Amino acid sequence: MRLLDSLKKEFILPDMEFSEKHQVLEALVEPLTKISGTTREELMRVLLERERLGSTGIGGGIAIPHGKLNAIDNLLLTFGRSRKGIDFDAMDGRPTHIFFMLITPEGFTGLHLKILARISRLLKDGSFKERLMAAATRDDLYQVIESEDSEF
């Protein structure tokens, strides 16, 4: 499976200009409401429950909000970028610029963990992060992700 099997181009938000974590999560959830088979409120509930356990802002300008939900059948994945950075309660206390949001069906724990690990590995590559930040458009962001997206 590749990330782009689930991350469609229209699920990439290249210019998030928000000031609060809640706004970021709502923006990342919005494109999924049409395809998820569940409500925006239910998707938000899962993400906010996970955030209450501890921020998914892992530091280094990166956040990977995620959760599991019985009401969906497939993996849901979105991507967002903020050039100026957003306070996401990151572990290092610094602004967050790059967001991958993942929601999987409740029984997909193995896949959930594999995708989290795959995203984390990709984002440890400084040049990948730089290319994500330098990309001008949604299409450019898609191409940057595609260039690193291999089967796992």
Catalytic annotation, residues: 66
Which DSSP category does 4 fall into? G
Token pair, residue 118, equals 């795959």
CB neighbours of residue 136 within 10 Å: 8
In what helix (H) or strand (E) does residue 120 lie, and over which residues does it extend? helix 109-124
Please report, as a single letter, which amino acid is at residue 132.
L
Which DSSP category does 6 fall into? T
Residue 123 CA to residue 132 CA, distance in Å, equals 10
Residue 41 CA to residue 79 CA, distance in Å, equals 19
